[in-house]
Amino acid sequence: MTIRTSAPLRMSLFALSCLCCAQTPALTLTTEEFPPLNFSTDGGQAISGSATDLMREILRRTGIPGTFVMLSWRSAYKMAIEDKDTCVFATARTEEREKLFQWVGPLATGQWIFYTTPNREIVVHQIDDLRPYMIGSYQSDVRAAYLKEHGFHLDEAMSEEQNLKKLAAGKIDLWLATDNSANWLSKKHGIALKPVHTLRSSTSYAACNRGISPLQIERMNAALRNMFADGTVERLLKPYGVPLPPAP
C-alpha cells in the first residue's frame, strides 16, 4: 500500500530532520601522547593509536562530528571537565572519577606493572618492598596519584618515553606503567625491560563532559557494542598489539 503525504507535511518532516541534525553538536576529543593507545604521527600533524581508531569509528557510525586534539594530559583532562561537548580519552575509569564524567567504552584494558632493567635484582614479596626505591611515573596520571597517595618515592616525567629513558640511564629504579605502553616503547627504543611486580588491572574509556546529552553518550556506546559484536574492535586493536577489553 502506498501512503501519500501532502507537500506541506513533507516540508515539515524535512525541516524537522534538518533541525535534529543541526542540533547534534560537534565533539572535541582531547587526548595525550600515550602510545599505543594515542600518539602523534606525521610530525604532529595527525593522531593515531588503537583508542583513536576506535573513537573515529564510533563517530563515523553515529554521524557525530568531532575534532581530535593532542594536548598534555593535564590540559586534556581539564578541558573534558570544564568544556561542554568535550571528551578525553583513553582514561582509566576509577571510583574517584566516576561521577565527574559520562563514560564511553571500554576502549582498552591493561596491567599496571613495575618495571626495571634486566641488570637490576629487585625482589618483591609484597608491595611495601618497593618503598626504598625511586619510582618513575607519568605526571598527573592516575598511577602517579596512586604512588603519591600511598607514600612511595615518586619521580614524575612529562611523558612515558622520558620514564623509559630515565630507567635505562639509572636515574630511577623502577617505572610504574601499563603493559601496553611499556611493551610498545620498549620495542620502539630497543630498551629491554624486566617486570618486577603487577599491581592491578585497569580499563580505559572516553570520559565525557557531563553537559553532553545522555542520548548522545548512549548512541556512542551502542555503536561500540555493535563494534564488539561484529569484530571491528578486535580488528582495530590487533595492529597495535592491544588486548581485547571486556565487551560492554
Which DSSP string do the residues of the chain spell out, in sequence order? -PPP--HHHHHHHHHHHHHHHHTSPPEEEEE-SBTTTBEEEGGGTEEESHHHHHHHHHHHHHT--EEEEE--HHHHHHHHHHSTTEEEEEEE--TTTGGG-EEEEEEEEEEEEEEE-TT-----SSGGGGTTSEEEEETT-HHHHHHHHTT-EEEEESSHHHHHHHHHTTS-SEEEEEHHHHHHHHHHHT---EEEEEEEEEEEEEEE-TTS-HHHHHHHHHHHHHHHHTTHHHHHHGGGTPPPPPP-
Q: How many CB atoms lie within 10 A of CB 13?
A: 11
Question: What confidence score (pLDDT) does residue 2 get?
Answer: 39
- Residue 103 CA to residue 209 CA, distance in Å, equals 9
pLDDT in tens, the chain (248 residues): 433 444 444 444 444 444 444 567 899 999 999 999 999 998 888 999 999 999 999 999 999 999 999 999 999 999 999 999 999 999 999 999 999 999 999 999 999 999 999 999 999 999 999 999 999 998 888 999 999 999 999 999 999 999 999 999 999 999 999 999 999 999 999 999 999 999 999 999 999 999 999 999 999 999 999 999 999 999 999 999 999 999 99
Q: What is the pTM of this model?
A: 0.86
Question: What confidence score (pLDDT) does residue 190 get?
Answer: 97
**Contact predicate 85/158, CB 8 Å:** no
